[in-house]
Amino acid sequence: MRALLQPNKNKRALSNIVAYVLLIAITISLSVMVYGWLRFYVSEDEVETCSDGVNIIIRSYECFKDSRLNITLKNKGRFTVDGYVLRVHDREGAAFGIYTFDEAGVVIEPGEEHFQNYLFNDANSIQDDGYKLSTVTLVEVQPFMKENNGEIKCKAYASQEITCLT
């Protein structure tokens, strides 16, 4: 009788092992997918910390019904900023801008203000896939300074929640 019960225990142990292997395989698959998704949103470049005297703020903004967004930036730091990256988002409550409006910016001296006009539903000026923004809910500006070997983007950035609708 005991010999007849033994094969059932082996089958139960085998099914538990198969279940654990499947669980591990699913976990690894999901982690690879999540890593790929996060890598899309997070830059691989190492971003350096800005000097204490680097500070650009969004002084003011104005939205227009023809999909224009006017932004005035001010350098409240002690150093000249060689340019900035300006990003926006179209989702309320977003923590960072995903659509890039401007990657070059202009040189802004300490205390100086810079005014720029952007057309936010022009698909060609935002990204290559032709997506048009119908709303802008966040503006983010990140300064950079140039050194002999090129641009250095800083961790210091300013963001402003806004509401621009077409």
The structure tokens listed for 128 are: 């290559």
Tally Cβ neighbours within 10 Å of residue 32: 10
Look up the domain containing 160 and give its range.
56-165
Quote the pTM value. 0.63
* Residue with the two structure tokens 């409006």: 101
Distance CA(88)–CA(71), nearest Å, equals 12
Question: Is residue 138 in a domain?
Answer: yes
Question: Is residue 51 in a domain?
Answer: no
Query: Which residue did the predictor score with more confidence, 90 or 129?
Result: 90
Identify whether residues 1 and 73 lie together within a single domain: no
Element (H, E) at 73: strand 68-75
Instruction: State pLDDT tens for residues 126-152.
Output: 555 556 778 888 888 888 887 766 667
Identify whether residues 61 and 25 lie together within a single domain: no
Among residues of the chain, what percentage have pLDDT more than 90? 13
Identify whether residues 91 and 151 lie together within a single domain: yes
Instruction: State pLDDT tens for residues 5-58.
Output: 555 556 677 788 888 999 999 999 999 888 877 766 665 555 566 777 788 888
Question: Is residue 100 in a domain?
Answer: yes
| Torsions phi, psi for 50 (to 5 deg) | -70, 160
Question: Is residue 140 in a domain?
Answer: yes
Identify whether residues 65 and 29 lie together within a single domain: no
Q: With contact defined as beta carbons under 8 Å apart, do 88 and 101 qualify?
A: yes
